[in-house]
Chain A
Amino acid sequence: MEITLNINGTEKKLNVEPRTLLVQAIRDAGLTGTHIGCDSSSCGVCTVVLDGKTAVKSCTMFAVQAEGHSITTIEGLAQGDKLHPLQQAFHDQHGLQCGYCTPGMIMAAYVLLQHNPNPSEEEIRFGLSGNLCRCTGYQNIVKAVQQAAQMLQQPTGAAADD
């Protein structure tokens, strides 16, 4: 069946089966930054933002269900060449190693900061506990989210200059 998905502000027409998972549809649309790491909704590497404020593990939603919603993936976060503060902070704080969990982790952090713009270390660990990372031990991810929170609270992201 033909569906139209709004991904990163762009309407994409896709031909899917009802059983096509959202993550597969996103990837088949050429946006391969959203990854797949398990079959049980456990790892969160497929996390994308739905309607700006909520997140979903895109392996646990059918593509057809995403019609009428806006989807933001890692590719939609930067403004042109200007990295989103979370992207900048993950780089600055060495919040990634192999990079496989990174897009999902950043999208999870994105919604976390929507709901809690100034989270404590404990709140960050709690909020990211639906996303697995095998490389970093999370510590630098926590630091990265703290940095991003600070940057987002500064006027016009002056600290994000790179």
Chain B
Amino acid sequence: MSVQTPNLEPKGIQGLGKPIKRKEDARFIVGKGTYLDDINLPGMLYMALVHSPYAHAKILNIDASEALKIPGVKAVITAKDLAAAGLSWIPTLAGDKQMVLADGKVLYQYQEVAAVFAETRQAAADGAAAVQVEYEPLPVVVDPYKATDPDAPVLREDIKDKMEGAHGPRRHHNHIWNWSVGSKEETEKALAQSEVRIKQHMVYPRSHPAPLEPCGCIGDMNKATGRLTVYMTTQAPHAIRTVLSLVTGIPENNIRVISPDIGGGFGNKVPVYPGYVCAIVGSIVLGAPVKWVETRTENLTTTGFARDFHMDIEIGATKDGKVTAMKVYTLADHGAFDAAADPSKYPAGLFSICTGSYDFQKAYAEVDAVYTNKAPGGVAYRCSFRVTEASYLIERSMDVLAHELKMDPAELRLKNFIRPEQFPYPSALGWTYDSGDYEKTLKVALERIGYYELRKEQAEKRARGELMGIGISTFTEIVGAGPSKDFDILGIKMFDGAEIRVHPSGSAIVRAGTRHQGQGHETTWAQIVSEELGLDVDKIIVEEGDTDTAPYGLGTYASRSTPTAGGAMALAARRIREKAKKIAAHLLEVSENDVEWVDKKFVVKGVPSKSVTMNEVAFAAYTNPPPGLEPGLETTYYYDPPNLTFPHGAYVCVVDIDKGTGEVKVRRFVAIDDCGTIINPMIVEGQVHGGLTEGFAIAFMQEIAFDEQGNHLASNFTDYLLPTALETPRWETGHTVTPSPHHPLGAKGVGESPTVGSPAAFVNAVVDALAHLGVRHIDMPITREKVWRILRQSGIDSF
């Protein structure tokens, strides 16, 4: 690993493709970031929550009298108190509703039952411990396959007779919705006619984003002004403001949501959680600011989980390996409330990207969602909505098919890729892929890792009884939701906004409706503006997260920032440039038609010596605007993308297996990503490193598991395992560039590709290592014991 010598802070014009260092680092490296818990307001109270020990139980009584005796405890609220404010239930993003505090019963372990407000954190914690709750346990539903048994317990008493849900009819009291896409009949016919068919069941286990900063909120109702300020760890401050206005009845202009520095989000900080609502209600009722910061246990047990898709796939192919059709059935475990964070029309998110990078002529996908006694969620954990599940499904299945056909998995992929000339490519399940060159990207990855030499090594090792495997994943993502014709959340279209204000002296402040959580927007948005306007990058300040100042936007998740806000930023800049051109013509004393933008300056056509810079134009916009032209140099642009973007990549993983313990060691991992135009390669590489690490964690250790009583088995970091530097493999990254034809910059987004694409590569590598023993699939997380069992069953033993 080579070490570069340190260079100076980025200065001057720094446009696209420059690996400039991040502007936001300055405060973080000296401990001067401002995260939610760093904010303290005068007279602030602290809130702690009481949680249910049972996964399903009737609440017989809540006795707060002992809690109220503790010095410093100001109040305890329960569902009854919330009901008085009309806030005992709130709408979810998925068209369902959820309890804020347990209303008559609890539906999952650790569900919030009461909120305690106190003058100190200690008193709040002691108060929560002193609240006595009497429960009558009820039978639980843990296995989603048993949720719709005829005699399954009723979980949602509130809707047990309501058989029409937000997404169509429900066929059982624990059924939420059924969704399908594609032609079932044609697909089944094509499958029946296929020479080769494979079937595979696979589970994408329940996971949790677990950012290192837990969720938190400070509600601050100013009774004198009627203004509610909410500091919140949210990836989508504007959407939160709208939701808060809808549920509280407070006019939206009287609500200010401030999302301060966020210590990682990964989808966890998109939904509205009961704790937020209670802190806000507490502030309204008690007339003081109320802070609530989750414990890690609260984070892992009650806030948005991800995945939990139970998938069955069938693929047809010709004998020589050309795929013909795929059919997918998925059971989605949504927990006790349908709080999945998906665009309104897509209850299963963008799962229909499951045909992946391959030219399937026929496809059909169907998903049923059910209620169980688990926490709600279904967030897009470092991925676009349900795209990780889809990508894992197809990439794992292609290996199963290769195994069946006795074909090399790379060759099978090369044979079935959508070819470059097929773009824009209409997929069998209704998407129009914008661009891609899958063969090129895979070939770069194979070359980089030395694929064919590794296959030789594997054969030699196998002959000696040693176990190594090679796994490939050539995924296609779908991100950047999205075009307003199809995409909205609670009716709000999924555009995003950007505002640019160029000041007279040539510096600028730019704002966006997104909210970064480590993605580097303060640098990359500045680079876009620097590129488009020729302003010095160090003179551009980027601001996000304050709804009073930032333009409306749907926020940062699902890899949408660059596709949406990045596009808005570029187009806002171009709108400024259009106006600037008029001013430049005025300064150059020529007609606008005689001015062109060359090398980040306005130049008189044919007279390169006659030019003005944007700095000069900015000054003139305020001091010497052309007659008849509105002064100033500011604009706001709302960008409604015409299509989604389709980043892709080719990942290759090499593993070695310890025959004694079943341990899998990742020897090498090459990730070649194609995210279109790259704004800052350093940041892109960093995003890829992080995403690969989360993919690795999901493949090998992270799982939110439950026992038969619905007890949560991963309620803290000693049980929910995040890899350290020691377990994490060393990543080898690279890229190909296939710009998006419709994005203003050709960029596609990258933050989540590696989490989407990598799990299949890891699992494929392990299965490949064991394939000669008859192994075709292993569900994640791949523990040592799962591998050990296969080894011992195959008679393999070793110290």
A and B in direct contact, judged by CB atoms within 8 A: yes
Determine the chain A residues whose CB is within 8 A of the CB of B693 once the complex forms: 136-138
Is the CB of B122 closer than 8 A to any CB of chain A? yes
Q: Is the CB of B519 within 8 A of A35?
A: no
Interface residues of B in 290-331 (CB under 8 A from A): 293, 295-297
Q: How far is the CA of A137 from the CA of B261 in the complex (A)?
A: 20
Interface residues of B in 91-142 (CB under 8 A from A): 121-122
Is the CB of B264 closer than 8 A to any CB of chain A? yes
Is the CB of A6 closer than 8 A to any CB of chain B? no
Q: Is the CB of A134 within 8 A of B717?
A: no
Q: Is the CB of A40 within 8 A of B296?
A: yes
One digit per residue, 1 when the CB lies within 8 angstroms of any chain A CB and 0 when it does not, for chain B 20-32 equals 0110111111111
Is the CB of B690 closer than 8 A to any CB of chain A? yes
Q: How far is the CA of A101 from the CA of B626 in the complex (A)?
A: 51
A96 to chain B, nearest CB (A): 6
Within the complex, which residue of B266, B683, B724 is in contact with A129, where a contact is CB–CB below 8 Å? B724
Q: How far is the CA of A94 from the CA of B6 in the complex (A)?
A: 11
Is the CB of A56 closer than 8 A to any CB of chain B? no
Stretch at the interface among B208-216, B400-408, B557-565: B208-216
Q: Is the CB of A130 within 8 A of B724?
A: yes
Within the complex, which residue of B1, B265, B296 is in contact with A121, where a contact is CB–CB below 8 Å? B1
Q: Which residue of A lies closest to B728 (CB)?
A: A138
Q: Is the CB of B22 within 8 A of A94?
A: yes
Determine the chain A residues whose CB is within 8 A of the CB of B210 once the complex forms: 134
Q: Is the CB of A98 within 8 A of B3?
A: no
Within the complex, which residue of B3, B32, B266, B296 is in contact with A134, where a contact is CB–CB below 8 Å? B266
Q: How far is the CA of A134 from the CA of B296 in the complex (A)?
A: 14
Within the complex, which residue of A34, A40, A88 is in contact with B716, where a contact is CB–CB below 8 Å? A40
Interface residues on A, range: 35 or more
Q: How far is the CA of A83 from the CA of B26 in the complex (A)?
A: 10
Q: How far is the CA of A19 from the CA of B25 in the complex (A)?
A: 34
Q: Is the CB of A37 within 8 A of B3?
A: no
Main SS of chain B's interface residues? Answer: loop
Determine the chain B residues whose CB is within 8 A of the CB of A62 once the complex forms: none
Q: How far is the CA of A47 from the CA of B705 in the complex (A)?
A: 29
**Of listed A38, A134, A140, A142, residue having the most chain B CB within 10 A:** A134
Q: How far is the CA of A17 from the CA of B33 in the complex (A)?
A: 27
Q: Is the CB of B518 within 8 A of A99?
A: yes
One digit per residue, 1 when the CB lies within 8 angstroms of any chain A CB and 0 when it does not, for chain B 708-744 equals 0000000011100010111010110000000000000
Within the complex, which residue of B29, B295, B296, B689 is in contact with A83, where a contact is CB–CB below 8 Å? B29
Tell me whether A100 and B9 are in contact in the complex, defined as CB-CB below 8 angstroms, given that A91-B29, A121-B1, A124-B725 are known contacts: no
Is the CB of A113 closer than 8 A to any CB of chain B? no
Tell me whether A139 and B724 are in contact in the complex, defined as CB-CB below 8 angstroms, given that A36-B37, A74-B30, A121-B1 are known contacts: no
Q: How far is the CA of A19 from the CA of B7 in the complex (A)?
A: 46
Q: Is the CB of A37 within 8 A of B213?
A: yes
Tell me whether A137 and B731 are in contact in the complex, defined as CB-CB below 8 angstroms, given that A39-B297, A39-B716, A130-B724 are known contacts: yes
Is the CB of B35 closer than 8 A to any CB of chain A? yes
Q: Is the CB of B689 within 8 A of A98?
A: no
Is the CB of B439 closer than 8 A to any CB of chain A? no
Q: How far is the CA of A39 from the CA of B25 in the complex (A)?
A: 27
Q: Is the CB of A93 within 8 A of B212?
A: no
Q: How far is the CA of A160 from the CA of B7 in the complex (A)?
A: 9
Is the CB of B449 closer than 8 A to any CB of chain A? no
Within the complex, which residue of B4, B689, B716, B730 is in contact with A136, where a contact is CB–CB below 8 Å? B689
Determine the chain B residues whose CB is within 8 A of the CB of A124 once the complex forms: 725
Is the CB of A90 closer than 8 A to any CB of chain B? yes
Q: Which residue of B lies closest to A98 (CB)?
A: B518
Q: Is the CB of B30 within 8 A of A136?
A: no
B side interface size, CB within 8 A: 66
Q: How far is the CA of A124 from the CA of B25 in the complex (A)?
A: 22
**Of listed B25, B35, B722, B731, residue having the most chain A CB within 10 A:** B25
Q: Is the CB of A32 within 8 A of B31?
A: yes
Q: Is the CB of A102 within 8 A of B6?
A: no
Q: How far is the CA of A131 from the CA of B26 in the complex (A)?
A: 21
A107 to chain B, nearest CB (A): 10
Tell me whether A137 and B297 are in contact in the complex, defined as CB-CB below 8 angstroms, given that A42-B716, A98-B264 are known contacts: no
Interface residues of A in 93-152 (CB under 8 A from B): 93-94, 96-103, 106, 121, 124-126, 128-143, 146-147, 150-151
Interface residues of A in 15-53 (CB under 8 A from B): 17, 19-20, 24, 27, 31-40, 42-43, 45
Q: How far is the CA of A96 from the CA of B718 in the complex (A)?
A: 24
Tell me whether A35 and B1 are in contact in the complex, defined as CB-CB below 8 angstroms, given that A90-B29, A102-B29, A142-B725 are known contacts: no
Is the CB of B630 closer than 8 A to any CB of chain A? no
Q: Which residue of A lies closest to B26 (CB)?
A: A91
Is the CB of B694 closer than 8 A to any CB of chain A? yes
Tell me whether A132 and B3 are in contact in the complex, defined as CB-CB below 8 angstroms, given that A43-B717, A91-B29 are known contacts: no
Q: How far is the CA of A106 from the CA of B266 in the complex (A)?
A: 23
Within the complex, which residue of B3, B6, B30, B686 is in contact with A146, where a contact is CB–CB below 8 Å? B3
Is the CB of B225 closer than 8 A to any CB of chain A? no
Determine the chain A residues whose CB is within 8 A of the CB of B728 once the complex forms: 125, 137-139
Q: How far is the CA of A131 from the CA of B24 in the complex (A)?
A: 22
Determine the chain B residues whose CB is within 8 A of the CB of A88 once the complex forms: 6, 29
Within the complex, which residue of A38, A89, A100, A133 is in contact with B6, where a contact is CB–CB below 8 Å? A89
Q: Which residue of B lies closest to A99 (CB)?
A: B28
Q: Is the CB of A37 within 8 A of B296?
A: yes
Q: Is the CB of B722 within 8 A of A132?
A: yes
Is the CB of A73 closer than 8 A to any CB of chain B? yes
Q: How far is the CA of A124 from the CA of B470 in the complex (A)?
A: 28
Is the CB of A78 closer than 8 A to any CB of chain B? yes
Tell me whether A136 and B213 are in contact in the complex, defined as CB-CB below 8 angstroms, given that A78-B30, A99-B518 are known contacts: no
Q: How far is the CA of A65 from the CA of B27 in the complex (A)?
A: 30
Determine the chain B residues whose CB is within 8 A of the CB of A61 once the complex forms: none
A131 to chain B, nearest CB (A): 7
Within the complex, which residue of A37, A125, A129, A160 is in contact with B212, where a contact is CB–CB below 8 Å? A37
Q: How far is the CA of A40 from the CA of B264 in the complex (A)?
A: 19
Q: Which residue of B lies closest to A31 (CB)?
A: B31
Tell me whether A136 and B690 are in contact in the complex, defined as CB-CB below 8 angstroms, given that A39-B297, A94-B682 are known contacts: yes
Tell me whether A42 and B717 are in contact in the complex, defined as CB-CB below 8 angstroms, given that A92-B6, A147-B3 are known contacts: yes
Determine the chain B residues whose CB is within 8 A of the CB of A137 once the complex forms: 689-693, 728, 731
Is the CB of A75 closer than 8 A to any CB of chain B? yes
Is the CB of B60 closer than 8 A to any CB of chain A? no
Within the complex, which residue of A32, A83, A141 is in contact with B725, where a contact is CB–CB below 8 Å? A141
One digit per residue, 1 when the CB lies within 8 angstroms of any chain A CB and 0 when it does not, for chain B 264-278 equals 111000000000000
Determine the chain B residues whose CB is within 8 A of the CB of A143 once the complex forms: 1, 3
**Of listed A37, A45, A99, A132, residue having the most chain B CB within 10 A:** A99
Interface residues of B in 179-225 (CB under 8 A from A): 210-214
Q: Which residue of A lies closest to B296 (CB)?
A: A38
Q: Is the CB of B266 within 8 A of A94?
A: no
Is the CB of B798 closer than 8 A to any CB of chain A? no
Is the CB of A58 closer than 8 A to any CB of chain B? no
Is the CB of B84 closer than 8 A to any CB of chain A? no
Q: Is the CB of A140 within 8 A of B689?
A: yes
Q: Is the CB of B211 within 8 A of A136?
A: no
Within the complex, which residue of B6, B32, B212, B683 is in contact with A162, where a contact is CB–CB below 8 Å? B6
Tell me whether A97 and B725 are in contact in the complex, defined as CB-CB below 8 angstroms, given that A42-B717, A88-B6 are known contacts: no
Determine the chain A residues whose CB is within 8 A of the CB of B685 once the complex forms: 94
Q: How far is the CA of A43 from the CA of B687 in the complex (A)?
A: 21
Q: Is the CB of A99 within 8 A of B263?
A: yes
Determine the chain B residues whose CB is within 8 A of the CB of A147 once the complex forms: 3-4, 6
Q: A91-B29, A134-B212 are in contact. List 18 more A-B contacts (CB 8 A).
A: A27-B37, A37-B214, A37-B263, A38-B296, A43-B717, A88-B29, A90-B29, A96-B29, A97-B686, A98-B213, A99-B29, A101-B212, A121-B1, A125-B728, A133-B212, A135-B690, A138-B724, A162-B6
A–B complex contacts, Cβ < 8 Å, 17 sampled: A32-B37, A37-B263, A43-B212, A73-B31, A77-B30, A91-B22, A91-B26, A93-B3, A97-B687, A124-B725, A125-B728, A129-B726, A137-B692, A138-B728, A146-B1, A147-B4, A162-B8
